[in-house]
A and B are shown apart, each in its own frame.
Chain A
């Protein structure tokens, strides 16, 4: 691995804004957050995947992947955040290197590829992603990008996050470093206002940003740039003129927030758009920080009035489902803030959380869960659960629905239990006040689909195995701690998120 990449990774691990990291001893910290993966028992994307996830929502640039067909050919077009304009980000560009490039180096092909893209598509910038094979053969993408940028008079940004450098979340941060090093601060905005903010770490999946933007618009707050959902190259390049940065929960790009604070003195806060009270808290934070930065003080009052109206409306709409959803048990297999931020909305809808995974949650996240769920919250926090355990739990009907990411959906479906996607590949936006109502609506729709009765009817001739048969909804939730324990003597497998 190149020296510069090593240095970058070390820098990312030193991240002062990351409390997990700060909680560790100096020595541990040096090791960073990359756990050694165990071969044959690992799941999840690579650093390249993470960098691409973080940056691909910049919709008007061409994202060029330098490597063999595996990296882009097997992955392109499989997720995209919504765009309100350009669609070039949805095209897959790759150098698709061959054996000769492996032997003689692929820099020439990369350079030519950049030229072809600029000639044919003329995007405001090209992002070039490094991958395992070309990193191993020593292709210097930084140098090629520099030369191409000079030659074609356009920004060509190297994103040095080859897959083997580590897991997806490291890739998120390395992608963010590319933005910091090459993009932010290179363009001046046409004008600025005292109400300019950046939103960092929000990818506008299924258009969620647009469930929030109208609220900001109404308050006169301008999103100078969103990094990176529905992002535009020029806007991100001028992000250094914002008054406030909002770091969206996931911390995936916390380094942008902390470095912008150091470099440009822009204060940041961490907020979330998921959950009603979180949404309100976020609006409050934005308003008060903007006022501190010189915006008119009445912004705070206007914000409070808006919150009051929106909260009342959201709770009223959720309450409509309360009667039917009363007592329904939800198993929440997600991570980070979502492990608690949606809980309030679910409880408001009359539901009970029988388990929430805390594998990817921070200490604060866990505190929050305790706060919301009260006594006995501990028993409901699941550290790690193998697919087999999830399957058993659903099969025995100790939950009425599972909310998780797409990769564990079949665990629920094969157990003939309702399932709802709350991670990347979902089709429904769950942001802001609107989104929480939508979530409860979707849960209702999933649980009350008559299909569940149908698929549980055993064959009259009884030969599809008794375990396939109807689910008997009797068991209570006391088994939960047992489930969290590592049942069946198996190592915990990574819970797909």
Chain B
């Protein structure tokens, strides 16, 4: 197990390196002009001389490889550079926003995994029952529903019709301090929407896995031996039914990141996802490279996590496989 983790970590280094180079290469090829992005609307009235001066100041006309190398060497010494779109050091931009995104993602993930598993087990137990039919058709609908649309629906219901939850921001708009209570109430809707948009995958996998397991010989044997229904369901069926879901947990990580993007935008959540889009369309090399490294690391860690969980849950799976 430690060997697998170690090998994956060794492998992660070159992958990350290649990804950062890829980011610089793709950004260099992209049709977006960092100078125009930097100048914003002022660029639409600026003279060519002015734009050329900006280009020189920003250093964006340099060749791809030296620029990437400079970024890499200073990143390794802890200096992530300055974000041209945020006009601030990259480390500060990320430090300020990452926590809020992680909080949102973790809560959403908890909602999706817990509710998805619970519903899946209940539905698998009575396949074709009213709960199963309702939940499954709902799950297919949700799979197709964009998170953006869900978010607007949630705002309409909880903020406008019922008036029980705030519809956006990290705290009340007029508030100048960030308190735990305010963040908690403002977190509910975005986390719920993001969680529910992920829920169908977990629900459907668990339902299928548990249903299959219930039909398998060991479970039928356990039932025949007169084991309590609870024990059969949770001890045997859930355990083997969970296996496919464990892989799912890791593989949903990228989806969670892209889902967060839309949800953060709708709810004015000051997370990192919104900054990523801005960095990309503004060809903000320093910020984009740092964010891509983070996202890649999250995906690699997600895969590692699901493999580890899988190995723990099913002793037949070798860690060196």
**Co-complex (A, B):** no
Measured CB to CB, the residues of A under 8 A from B are: none
Q: What is the interface of chain B, defined by CB distance below 8 A to chain A? A: none
